[in-house]
């Protein structure tokens, strides 16, 4: 019997679900710095797009409650990408989002959301129950207290969701540092030292 924890995340089997990285919710984030969270989710999104990973973005009641996506994320997403605005607490319960994921034919979903314990955790848990392998990029998912972060992570572990940092997930999908796209992916992750090291090694080999 295969173990999803042992099978790699790849550019062919993965999709990225971004849940509620909205201006109003960001004002309440307390478990990490706001600038760090903005950096992490935009870096994750930029690198995923570079690797041709399908991206689905959603907001909750943008006009009535939490406002639009943060401008930094809007600037990274393709201009023609429709952000799905919903009312359901659990993004998985919105038929448009679930249908969009199902239509991709991919069995692994990377989720990032604000807040971690609701916006990221609930759809990841639901996707796992539906037979997908779900990952949560915890450092691209902020929340409103350390307690919420700790209990959210505990619930994810209990439900069998794979938790990781965003850069490790991207590098796993990249798979090969010899790929011509690798330096650009590291730049997207804001890891320019990866490119610098490569240049240093190339210079020494001449």
List the catalytic residues. 119
Instruction: Give the distance from CA 158 to its chain's centroid.
Output: 20
* Per-residue CA distances from 173 to 11, 105, 136, 204 (Å): 5, 17, 15, 28
Find, among 94, 92, 164, the residue nearest to 125 by Cα.
92
Alpha carbons within 13 angstroms on the beta-carbon side of residue 191 total 19
Task: State whether residue 38 is helix, strand or coil.
Answer: helix
CA distance 138 to 156: 10
Between CA 69 and CA 16, with CA 37 as vertex, the angle to 5 degrees is 65
CA distance 96 to 100: 6
CB atoms < 10 A from the CB of 3, how many? 6
CA end-to-end span of the chain, whole Å? 48
């Amino acid at each position: 019997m295969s173990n999803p924890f042992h099978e790699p995340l790849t550019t062919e089997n993965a999709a990225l679900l971004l849940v509620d990285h909205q201006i109003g919710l960001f004002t309440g984030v307390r478990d990490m710095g706001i600038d760090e969270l903005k950096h992490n989710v935009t870096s994750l999104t930029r690198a995923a797009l570079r690797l041709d990973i399908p991206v689905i973005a959603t907001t909750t009641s943008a006009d009535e409650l939490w406002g639009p996506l943060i401008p930094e994320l809007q600037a990274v997403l393709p201009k023609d990408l429709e952000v799905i605005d919903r009312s359901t607490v659990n993004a998985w319960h919105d038929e448009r989002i679930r249908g969009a994921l199902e239509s991709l034919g991919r069995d692994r979903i990377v989720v990032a959301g604000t807040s971690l314990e609701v916006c990221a955790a609930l759809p990841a848990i639901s996707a796992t129950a539906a037979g997908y392998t779900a990952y949560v990029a915890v450092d691209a998912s902020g929340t409103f207290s350390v307690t919420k972060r700790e209990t959210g992570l505990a619930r994810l572990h209990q439900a069998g969701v794979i938790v990781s940092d965003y850069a490790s997930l991207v590098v796993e999908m990249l798979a090969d540092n010899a790929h011509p796209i690798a330096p650009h992916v590291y730049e997207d992750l804001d890891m320019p030292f990866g490119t610098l090291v490569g240049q240093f090694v190339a210079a020494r080999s001449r």
